[in-house]
Amino acid sequence: MKPLHEKLKNPIYLFLITVLYGCILNAQSKSIDNIQQNNMETSINNIIKQLTLEEKVVMCHAQSKFSTKGVERLGIPEIWMADGPHGVRAEISWDSWAYAGWTNDSITAFPALTCLAATFNPELAGDYGFSLGEEARYRKKDVLLGPGVNIYRTPMNGRNFEYMGEDPFLASTMVVPYIQGVQKNGVAACVKHFALNNQEHWRDKINVEASDRALHEIYLPAFKAAVQEADVWAVMGAYNKFRGQYTTHHELLINKILKGDWAYDGVVISDWSSAHDTMEAANNGLDIEMGTGTDGLGTTTLNHYANYFLANPFLEKLKSGAISESVLDDKVRRVLRLRFRTNLSKNRPLGRANNVEHHEVARKVATEGIVLLKNDNNFFPIKDDKDLTIAIIGENATRSMTAGGGSSELKPKFEISPLEGIKARYKNARILHSMGYETGPSEYAKVNPPSLDQDSLKAEAIKLAKKADIVLFVGGLNKSHLQDCEGDDRQQYGLPFGQEDLIRAISKVNQNVGFILLTGNAVEMPWLDHVKGVMQAWYLGSMAGHAMADVISGDVNPSGKLPFTFPKKLEDNGAHSFGETSYPGVNLTQHYKEDILVGYRWHDTKHIDPLYAFGYGMSYTSFEIENIKSDKENYHQNDNIIVTCNVTNTGAKSGAEVVQVYIGKPKSKVDRALKELKGFQKVTLEPGHGTHLNIEVPVSSLAYYDETLSDWVVEKGNYLIHVGNASNNISKKIKINIK
């Protein structure tokens, strides 16, 4: 027999030992987790025993605009929260929405979440979340009020820019690493707005009627992933009603689904003023009530924090026995868990802000998220040539896009405008600039009337366009009221502020026009034939201008893909095709009549060509996706389908492609979308290089939600796998069978 050290040289023994060691380590770390978990629960029980009824109730509501009280006597800290999804918001006053006027609260502004979704790069979402979490930690926040994962149902929703697009699988895949990244810093992410908050118009009153299938298949999956895969520590309720009940204290959504079926053990925080009733808030799962109006440090009693639904009125009902103390204890237990995970955690890192690494993450997300939509005759990339004159036209070339928009407004330490970024990159070419139109200062609540004369601005822009070889029109929407802004929806699908006319006028004097579109929403493009190139450049935060210049110049090859469909006209969108009862609602109720057919699911199934499809985005190089196969033809319920293919960069520039796997069931017992995204992978390749990809899709993810069983069911039979690089550009379809 060989001695042990000889045996160890044998790769099989080595492998077995490594596996065994791995198992021991894994079991050990699991048991450490369990001990920590048990310790936490024991500590929480001990604390609960020491708290008076009053001290417990105090934990369930705000003490200021963004904080809740601690228990001074026991050294239990306050909880501090801050918006929002793409940067830590500046400090707000104790008792009003006014900014507190601190000078040490500026931060890195990261690109808005539509841009993050457009990267189709979950690893980058992890870097994004981690960097943002570090900034929140540095600013001494315990809860970051984001990310938002409400599904993009209509391009009119003023808040779509804060969310991750129209597809539940994409949003789920991107939100999980984001949350994990934030929470590594001992800062809770607070996923919002739970649920069905898909429009801002009448947001605090609208009653949504949607089917169980739409709810479970479209509107809840990203929240479910946040809870079950990312272990999110906080969830924010929404303003709207669902089936007649306010979502912030909703029997079905919160008690049954979130805390029951999904076994969520964290806190439910109200949206600011979204609680409406003490009994419902107490019994239907709201744990912390925020924002229900105050009028000045509680000097009058009417709107004092102590009068919140979960404050004195709650205390009275507890004292009278109308609400049992166990209801309160469950809330306190969750609120204490939040503290143990954040400000009572011993291993909390210190955080950092405004550092080079965060700026790099912001720039990387921005460049990877920019989507090239049109590029006639290789209009982009534009070389920096001394004989070239580029006219930059449009208000968005210089306007701050971190200002405005509502609660996601940011105060970045710096924000590189498109004009600054282009000037910094183009050292040889002559850069001219003209506003072309003006919309007035950006404010949360309103657009102030423009102060400059619009006709002369237009005339000046046309004059400039005549002189230039190339025009880059930097326009789109902005963060003012009725644009991409919280509080209400857009009022037109087309571009506002006379931009359509201006573009047409410019194209008459200059044939080389490219449009850099800054929006968080799709827009109508009747002017598309008048421009050679279109780049969807979102709201990109601190590094906006540099990132745009990176892609315009070709330093970075675009690889972003649309996270939502651009319909040709508004009526082509599912929600809008049913008229007012579907959007925005009649008598404050709306019916989601398109049901599960949201976004590309609608366009595909009803054969309505979009202007630009979900998943679409061009590159400066070309890719071939070939040899597309599934590992088997027949699968069982517990299998994983492995889709394989070869991707080759067949062009002359290094670049990245996103291979997308959609699956549909042509014959089904229930209505189905033609196909649904079930997997994707982004791959970067040098010119002439190729790689082999395996994309795994669990058969269980093909289930539909059976409304009679109230459960997920995988139907037997034939399915079609569609593989391509956009929802409307499928290279191959493969038939498989589920037994």
Q: Which residues are catalytic?
A: 271
Select from 56, 192, 216, 358 the one that contacts ligand BGC (CB under 6 A).
192
Q: Which residues contact 261 (CB under 8 A, 6 or more apart)?
A: none
134 binds ligand BGC (CB under 6 A): no
Interface of this chain with ligand BGC, residues 586 to 645, rule: CB under 6 A:
none
Interface of this chain with ligand BGC, residues 223 to 262, rule: CB under 6 A:
none
H/E run at residue 681: strand 676-685
Residue nearest to ligand BGC (CB): 407
HEC readout, 318-357: HHHCCCCHHHHHHHHHHHHHHHHHCCCCCCCCCCCCCCHH
Token digits of residue 714: 């995988």
Q: How many CB atoms lie within 10 A of CB 335?
A: 21
Orientation of helix 11-50 relative to helix 325-341, angle to 10°: 130
514, 473 in Cβ contact below 8 A? yes
Collapse the DSSP code of 661 into the 3-class scheme (helix H, G, I; strand E, B; otherwise coil) and give the result. Answer: strand
Shortest CB 271 distance to ligand BGC, Å: 5
Shortest CB 363 distance to ligand BGC, Å: 26
Shortest CB 192 distance to ligand BGC, Å: 5
271 binds ligand BGC (CB under 6 A): yes
**Of 190 and 465, CB closest to ligand BGC:** 190
Select from 163, 272, 437, 705 the one that contacts ligand BGC (CB under 6 A).
272
Interface of this chain with ligand BGC, residues 290 to 349, rule: CB under 6 A:
none
Task: Kindly state the DSSP code that residue 261 receives in the 8-state scheme.
Answer: I
**Of 200 and 572, CB closest to ligand BGC:** 200
Shortest CB 409 distance to ligand BGC, Å: 9
**Of 200 and 415, CB closest to ligand BGC:** 200
Closest alpha carbon to 606 in 667, 668, 671, 659:
671
Shortest CB 97 distance to ligand BGC, Å: 8
Q: How far apart are CA 267 and CA 274, in angstroms?
A: 15
H/E run at residue 317: helix 312-320
**Of 246 and 614, CB closest to ligand BGC:** 246
Shortest CB 82 distance to ligand BGC, Å: 9
Interface of this chain with ligand BGC, residues 32 to 91, rule: CB under 6 A:
83-84
Q: Which residues contact 396 (CB under 8 A, 6 or more apart)?
A: 418, 474, 475, 476, 478, 516, 518
Sheet of 79-83: strand order equals: 67-68, 79-83, 143-145, 188-194, 234-237, 267-269
Cα separations in angstroms, 572 against 36, 137, 582, 594, 600: 53, 44, 13, 11, 11
First to last CA, the chain: 49
Token digits of residue 642: 């492995």
Shortest CB 407 distance to ligand BGC, Å: 3
Strand ranges in 90-205 using DSSP code E only, listed in sequence order: 143-145, 188-194
**Of 274 and 439, CB closest to ligand BGC:** 274
Interface of this chain with ligand BGC, residues 397 to 426, rule: CB under 6 A:
407
**Of 179 and 721, CB closest to ligand BGC:** 179
H/E run at residue 697: strand 690-698
**Of 63 and 407, CB closest to ligand BGC:** 407
Q: Which residues contact 39 (CB under 8 A, 6 or more apart)?
A: none
**Of 58 and 145, CB closest to ligand BGC:** 145
Q: Which residues contact 422 (CB under 8 A, 6 or more apart)?
A: 390, 392, 431, 472, 545, 548, 549, 552
Shortest CB 451 distance to ligand BGC, Å: 29
**Of 50 and 93, CB closest to ligand BGC:** 93
User: Residue 462: phi, psi to the nearest 5?
Assistant: -65, -40
Closest alpha carbon to 442 in 393, 475, 401:
401
Tokens 């040899």 map to which residue? 627
Shortest CB 286 distance to ligand BGC, Å: 15
Residues β-bridged to residue 234 = 190, 267
420, 399 in Cβ contact below 8 A? no
Select from 145, 187, 332, 422 the one that contacts ligand BGC (CB under 6 A).
145
Closest alpha carbon to 614 in 519, 730, 515:
730
User: Residue 630: phi, psi to the nearest 5?
Assistant: -110, 155
**Of 271 and 289, CB closest to ligand BGC:** 271
Shortest CB 83 distance to ligand BGC, Å: 5
**Of 143 and 517, CB closest to ligand BGC:** 143
User: Residue 384: phi, psi to the nearest 5?
Assistant: -90, 100
519 binds ligand BGC (CB under 6 A): no
Number of chain residues interacting with ligand BGC (CB under 6 A) = 7
Closest alpha carbon to 507 in 567, 430, 431, 436:
436
Shortest CB 212 distance to ligand BGC, Å: 26
Contact set with ligand BGC (CB under 6 A): 83-84, 145, 192, 271-272, 407
